[in-house]
Amino acid sequence: MHRLLPTFTALTALTALALTTGCSSGPGAEAGAARPEGAAATSPAAEGSKAPPSTFWVDPDSPAARQVEEWRREGRERDAEALRRISERPMAIWPAGDDPASDVRAATEGAAKEGRTAVLVAYNIPHRDCGQHSAGGAGSAEAYRGWVDSFAEAIGDAPALVILEPDAIPHIVDGCTPQEYHADRYQLLSEAIQRFKRQPDVKVYLDAGNPGWITDPHKLSEPLRQAGVARADGFSLNVSNFQSDRTTKAYGHTLSAAVGGKHFVMDTSRNGRGPLAGDRQDAWCNPPGRGLGTPPTDRTDDPLLDAVLWIKRPGDSDGPCRGGPEAGQWWPDYALGLARNAKEA
């Protein structure tokens, strides 16, 4: 999943924007709007199992939860305790690309038993990730339509929040996805939004990348419209990336104004220390020294920000870079580093 980090100029501009937009703060958002960009405070995640208010489901059998138990059996109590900062938080489920139904049912049924909402990621668009670390996706438009239908049907009447196709729109904007695929992609995304919204209790957020990738949010407005964002509940930001809460919220407010006031959600799973310094091409891929960000909550005190979420599951690799396993595979050592470095963005 290719997400370039911003230049110093871009970050400075967005910081200035954040100071003028007057984004409010509250539980699950930034603790102090006046804190300078890059400054860090102790995250609620660092308080162990004390969770912020949230209606989202915690997977009791996540890789992090299993790792906690394994380390306890091995006598690694301190490491296990640190990893609880991940295992006891709600995280998104990324259903399989071949048959999503079983993963979706397991999540939605588990959430429904607890009166909570499952967070799900639909990530199987044809020509996904421009052939990079997360390349793949459905083999054809018809295969994708069938996959989306199976995904939506498996949700049934359960409450669910769906993040739709991370990177799909930004890869059109940055030119990585060839022009010949654009029309089909817009059509498939629009159809997917409509299909998911046929389920009675589903919210859909179409992905819009992150502030360090498409630095001018206005470049996303027309592509989002063509993909049917008007029929979605909003858009998602910072998925699998490291941009700070403040920068991401400022960007979200600007983009919202450009697409008719749509709401947004943002991924704070690994942004507690911000992005890796510098402007290197692969600074997004398993960067060292990063930390958990603001814990997930749907109580943001921001009228446009519906939720902060952990969409990228902390500890899942970005790809075979910096010693990591394949994209999406659990990497316990990296997860432990994120937990130990937990800070509020």
pLDDT confidence band for 26 (50 / 70 / 90): very low
- Per-residue pLDDT tens digits for 168-217: 999 999 999 999 999 999 999 999 999 999 999 999 999 999 999 999 99
Report residue 168 CA to chain centroid gap: 13
Q: Is the pLDDT of residue 35 over 80?
A: no
Question: In the numeric block, which tokens belong to residue 298?
Answer: 């749907």
Least trusted range by pLDDT, from 13-27, 46-60, 243-257: 13-27
pLDDT confidence band for 2 (50 / 70 / 90): very low
> How far is it, in rounded angstroms, from Cα 124 to Cα 105?
18
Q: Is the pLDDT of residue 49 over 80?
A: no
- Percent of the chain exceeding pLDDT 90 equals 78
Q: In 10 A of CB 332, how many CB atoms?
A: 17
pLDDT confidence band for 130 (50 / 70 / 90): confident
- Per-residue pLDDT tens digits for 295-327: 999 999 999 999 999 999 999 999 999 999 999
Instruction: For 310-328, give the DSSP string.
Output: --S-TTB-SSSSTT--STT
Listed in sequence order, the residues at least 6 apart from 249 whose beta carbon sits closer than 8 Å to its beta carbon are 18, 21, 23, 29, 30, 266, 302, 305
Instruction: For 15-52, give the DSSP string.
Output: HHHHHHHT----TTS-S-TTSPTT--B--GGGGTT-PP
**Across the chain, what does the average pLDDT equal?**
86
* pLDDT of the residue at 231: 98
Amino acid letter at 209? Answer: G
* pLDDT of the residue at 8: 32
Q: In 10 A of CB 11, how many CB atoms?
A: 21
Question: In the numeric block, which tokens belong to residue 275?
Answer: 């992005």
- Catalytic positions are 129, 167, 318
